[in-house]
Amino acid sequence: MSFARLSIKGRALKLLSQREHSRLELLRKLAPYVEEGDDLPATLDELEKRGFISEQRVMESVIHSKASRFGTARLLHELRSKGLDDEVVRNAGEQLRDTELERARELWRKRFGTPPADIKEKAKQMRFMASRGFSSGVALRVLREASCSDFGESDQAD
């Protein structure tokens, strides 16, 4: 059956079968398909009550799929844009901040691997880290550690 002929509930379930969606995402995606007699909020309430919609699973899915590539600020922005509860976003922030430095080190290793040779290269690396949502403090620490030690090479000796 094509997506165009599905009921609102069928469309919601089809979207949820592809990946986790927040209530707000489903509301945005399904609103254009609401016809007379459809009650989108009630349908979403039912799906939420039955466990098909879960803010916790959406949060875990975003973190699992993107934490290795992005910093805390960018991930929290994405979670907020999905309409997740402030408490869920706050908990995610605490979890992400605990691992931010290590995630930044790993991303820097994969992208650059060698300390910046000059101020221009340092600025380039800082901009990259900032564009990925890492704080300037974390990015500076990663670059300082790279310049002072060879943490990028120590893993290769193991």
What is the percent of the chain with per-residue pLDDT over 70, rounded to a whole number?
Answer: 91
- In whole angstroms, give the CA distance from residue 71 to residue 88: 17
Instruction: State pLDDT tens for residues 36-60.
Output: 889 999 999 999 999 999 999 999 9
Of the pLDDT bands very low, low, confident and very high (cuts 50, 70, 90), residue 14 is: very high
What pLDDT, on the 0 to 100 scale, is given for residue 150? 52
Q: CB atoms < 10 A from the CB of 35, how many?
A: 7
Instruction: State pLDDT tens for residues 65-120.
Output: 999 999 999 999 999 999 999 999 999 999 999 999 999 999 999 999 999 999 99
Distance of CA 155 to the CA centre of its chain: 27
Inter-residue contact 20 to 58 (CB < 8 Å): yes
What's the whole-model pTM score?
0.83
> What are the domain boundaries of the chain?
1-53
Instruction: State pLDDT tens for residues 17-36.
Output: 999 999 999 999 999 999 98
